[in-house]
Structure 1
């Protein structure tokens, strides 16, 4: 053994570095990078220029997580400079993103760090070992007794290289599992074998890894030798820092619960670095989605620790001024703006995943539940909350049952569906009993209403909304069912559906469109574009199924241009209006109103109804309006409807689309009550059902 680094006794204060001055943190980081650069430059290595973290230098990674991503072309091409090359590279590894919203996850490492790296040809292992050792002992003045090489006896070449320069007492041989000595490179066909260098912990007890030497090889042999040193972990050891993030200190979070503090710091540091590289909070690629997770977690930790966004803003501004003194881009302001907009989106009901749900829970936002979608083979219960099934002819009942069963549904009927009184309905208690049993029955997957009528609102005060809330199911019907559907959504907090009744399924011709959108809305989770039907009808189909009158559709009527998105509230205008002033009236904040009327309503009555909505205190929350196709007997044209709409200044800034396929003209699409719809009148597809 050639002991080129003689040992000496360590002092009690083993590194004798003094106190780490937080306000000078960038100087410490810069100094260790300078020491590394000078050390390798003085040894004849060529300097390799750093690249942005979000660079696509290596298209196989989202962010530069190691200098090897920059060195890859030379490594794979066999063109590593004979004298070797080195670089100081900002890196980002997003391992912590998986635990940001898991309160049990501890962020032991910082996501953002500076990697000190070098690469030499495959025949210079001993030189790589010597260069790395001398960096610590000569440049950083670390006593050799405070160093350890952790190596596997199976890697004889690495072990021999260590023994050439250090006494055996400075080696930890086979003290770890085999995989510890195997380095995952992230380059197809390339693997790594490594020994790790560790520094004694500042308290003198034990050692912690700070870097390594990696033999990079493929099936043909060794390709090159990589040196890697983490500047943050070295500084943590030398200055007895509590955490690697203390190399980039955000002064002001010292009193924050440590469970959240380090992840909060990490999220701020990462967010700032990515914003400074031009990534956008609302961008669409995978890197910007990761940025959004880090940004959202800042709001999450603020809520968990009761820190105001104003306080976080102040800490970020101080940090930004210290870490990026010459940068004109104010990312602190960008972050606060993004978080404020994000919170507003959440409060508007824009929920797109688990992260949103977790943060919304902290904000105490009560999100709308989405019932489990039904599928072929499921059990459908038919009930009559309005008029009785006794009103239907045997032919209609038979045709509806056959069609639903042909789609694989298993049908059952409420006990009281055939009860009929002088109002062609049944008692309130009978109807409520059937409703409760349908929701309470665990074998029932979805519920269809028989038909509309005039009196479903009689039930509203007698419904057990807590029972329904605890057993959300697809509940579908239209017309008079609008009252009960909106009441359930408002009180039980789950989406209901304005769509075909049980009786509607008896339609033999022109019903394919209705089936298509029932499937999209009630049998799938995917968002979908609502296209206009090619034809429509307004004839009494139940009188003669063979002789039908179909009319070519002229498509949507764009009454007013605009762009909007919001929660959906609808659909039969008079039934919905009957809820005004009651506890069942839905909140119109950030809503898309979708309304329709039947043949009993002319343009004057529709005008009056619309005005009653406009005069509601919360109508200002309506973001856009969809109007269902009018029946022929209403005599409503595009021109007269446009005149009515444009006479109301309160509607002047709203996108309004009419002649949409929902309501009493056929075919009818299924739309969610309490879901989300977007309107973009400039698009080829103006209406998209986003959440249902």
Structure 2
């Protein structure tokens, strides 16, 4: 996910933020992690009250209304976070204010889940202000994707909480997106045995690719590649040991994808994995004029070059990421990847 656009268009605001936040004290411990017990959140049902929050980029009133309409169409009752419409540069309010909305929703006994309005950028900035002890005592589902990957990572690493990489409030809630959300987030349905597939679109970037055939089972961790790479070596990074990593990306030049995967290789993360399930890499094409590089690999060539030598099952083309027809992926739940067949099967229920 290309963040330079944010920085180039908001340089003045960014400078102001650096001054405003330079002496702030961390509100909660960064060292304490969960004790190994995975927390499966209660599921949703018709009439569930769901906290609508903006933990990353700012949103307009129109976008909040769109998010509310999408949740109401699912039979849910959206409840706005206190700071949902605030703006601080390209952020939806200050770091403490956005974290306050997250903490408040977990503390509110009348709220059954949290739904993020959009991604953008900003979740990682507020992680030090999330009360993970509160989260662990009041486990609730949270859903979003793109920059929300930082929250998915932190909730699992610090509290052991299962969360979901799926549509944000302003996403397109088409038939596949809705059916996947209902299957995984609503308690009336059982997620065990649910199969996630590829081939959800007709554009070239949807074309499946078997990097390494074979089967592998493990806990699902992952999300947006650039976001998860940015958390490498932080207290908010979950254990990669024996996991199945799911990744997706948007608007990144192939050399930048190469750089990110190489960082994960050098950090020893990819060598720990059982398998890799890649979603759609949307608009990830070379821009030689912008990069200053002559010649390029395609993103498919980069994925093959950086992943094939690992010798573990790896597949590109699952229907999740920055796409319209979107599967929801449960973060922290066990699943089986069949890279030869292009399937990802959920092995346990995702809510209770």
Shorter-chain TM-score tier? 0.7 to 0.9
Q: Confirm or deny that 1:531 pairs with 2:193.
A: no
- Asked whether the equivalents of residues 373 and 525 of structure 1 are also in contact (C-alpha less than 8 Å), the reply is no
Change (3 A) 1:435 1:624: same
Please give the TM-score of this superposition, normalised by the length of structure 2: 0.80
Q: Confirm or deny that 1:666 pairs with 2:317.
A: no
Residue 273 of structure 2 is matched in structure 1 by: 622
Residue 123 of structure 2 is matched in structure 1 by: 456
Shift of 1:642: 4.7
Residue 515 of structure 1 is matched in structure 2 by: 178
Shift of 1:490: 0.7
Which of 259, 268, 281 aligns to 1:608? It is 259
Shift of 1:668: 1.8
How many Å separate the matches in 1 of 2:93 and 2:38?
31
Which of 218, 222, 228 aligns to 1:576? It is 228
How many Å separate the matches in 1 of 2:227 and 2:137?
26
Residue 491 of structure 1 is matched in structure 2 by: 158
Provide the secondary structure at the position in 1 that maps to 2:125: helix
Change (3 A) 1:553 1:438: same
Provide the secondary structure at the position in 1 that maps to 2:218: strand
How many Å separate the matches in 2 of 1:578 and 1:679?
25
Provide the secondary structure at the position in 1 that maps to 2:325: coil
Of Structure 1 and Structure 2, the greater helix share is in 1
Residue 346 of structure 2 is matched in structure 1 by: 689
- Asked whether the equivalents of residues 381 and 411 of structure 1 are also in contact (C-alpha less than 8 Å), the reply is yes
Q: Confirm or deny that 1:426 pairs with 2:83.
A: no
Change (3 A) 1:412 1:578: same
Q: Residue deviations 1:553-608, cap 9 Å, x none? A: 86532121111011111101111111111111110001011111111x11111111
Provide the secondary structure at the position in 2 that maps to 1:669: coil
Change (3 A) 1:418 1:610: same
Q: Confirm or deny that 1:367 pairs with 2:37.
A: yes
Change (3 A) 1:646 1:628: closer
Which of 556, 572, 577 aligns to 2:208? It is 556
Q: Residue deviations 1:103-143, cap 9 Å, x none? A: xxxxxxxxxxxxxxxxxxxxxxxxxxxxxxxxxxxxxxxxx
Q: Confirm or deny that 1:632 pairs with 2:283.
A: yes
Give unpaired runs (5+ residues) of structure 1. Answer: 1-363, 537-550
Provide the secondary structure at the position in 2 that maps to 1:366: coil
- Asked whether the equivalents of residues 285 and 298 of structure 2 are also in contact (C-alpha less than 8 Å), the reply is no
How many Å separate the matches in 1 of 2:328 and 2:303?
25
How many Å separate the matches in 1 of 2:131 and 2:89?
27
Residue 311 of structure 1 is matched in structure 2 by: none
Which of 316, 329, 333 aligns to 1:675? It is 333
Alignment of 1:285-324 (within 5 A): none
How many Å separate the matches in 1 of 2:241 and 2:224?
19
Q: Number of matched residues?
A: 304
Provide the secondary structure at the position in 1 that maps to 2:197: coil
Q: Residue deviations 1:80-124, cap 9 Å, x none? A: xxxxxxxxxxxxxxxxxxxxxxxxxxxxxxxxxxxxxxxxxxxxx
Shift of 1:401: 2.1
Provide the secondary structure at the position in 2 that maps to 1:660: coil
Shift of 1:681: 2.7
Provide the secondary structure at the position in 1 that maps to 2:347: strand
- Asked whether the equivalents of residues 123 and 150 of structure 2 are also in contact (C-alpha less than 8 Å), the reply is yes
Residue 313 of structure 2 is matched in structure 1 by: 655
Shift of 1:628: 1.6
Deviates more, 1:652-661 or 1:397-406: 397-406
Which of 48, 55, 76 aligns to 1:409? It is 76
- Asked whether the equivalents of residues 568 and 594 of structure 1 are also in contact (C-alpha less than 8 Å), the reply is yes
How many Å separate the matches in 2 of 1:365 and 1:415?
32
Q: Residue deviations 1:406-460, cap 9 Å, x none? A: 3211111001001112224201111111111100111111110111122111111
Residue 12 of structure 2 is matched in structure 1 by: none
- Asked whether the equivalents of residues 568 and 672 of structure 1 are also in contact (C-alpha less than 8 Å), the reply is yes
How many Å separate the matches in 1 of 2:151 and 2:327?
19
Q: Please identify the structure whose Cα radius of gyration is greater.
A: 1
How many Å separate the matches in 2 of 1:444 and 1:365?
25
How many Å separate the matches in 1 of 2:159 and 2:135?
6
- Asked whether the equivalents of residues 607 and 644 of structure 1 are also in contact (C-alpha less than 8 Å), the reply is yes
Change (3 A) 1:365 1:468: closer
Shift of 1:665: 2.3
Shift of 1:619: 3.3
How many Å separate the matches in 2 of 1:460 and 1:588?
20
- Asked whether the equivalents of residues 143 and 167 of structure 2 are also in contact (C-alpha less than 8 Å), the reply is yes
- Asked whether the equivalents of residues 596 and 662 of structure 1 are also in contact (C-alpha less than 8 Å), the reply is yes
Provide the secondary structure at the position in 1 that maps to 2:274: strand
Provide the secondary structure at the position in 2 that maps to 1:448: strand
- Asked whether the equivalents of residues 630 and 665 of structure 1 are also in contact (C-alpha less than 8 Å), the reply is no
Q: Residue deviations 1:204-249, cap 9 Å, x none? A: xxxxxxxxxxxxxxxxxxxxxxxxxxxxxxxxxxxxxxxxxxxxxx
Give unpaired runs (5+ residues) of structure 2. Answer: 1-33, 288-296
Cα RMSD, aligned residues only:
2.4
Alignment of 1:246-285 (within 5 A): none
- Asked whether the equivalents of residues 200 and 319 of structure 2 are also in contact (C-alpha less than 8 Å), the reply is no
Shift of 1:399: 3.5
- Asked whether the equivalents of residues 559 and 642 of structure 1 are also in contact (C-alpha less than 8 Å), the reply is no
- Asked whether the equivalents of residues 419 and 426 of structure 1 are also in contact (C-alpha less than 8 Å), the reply is yes
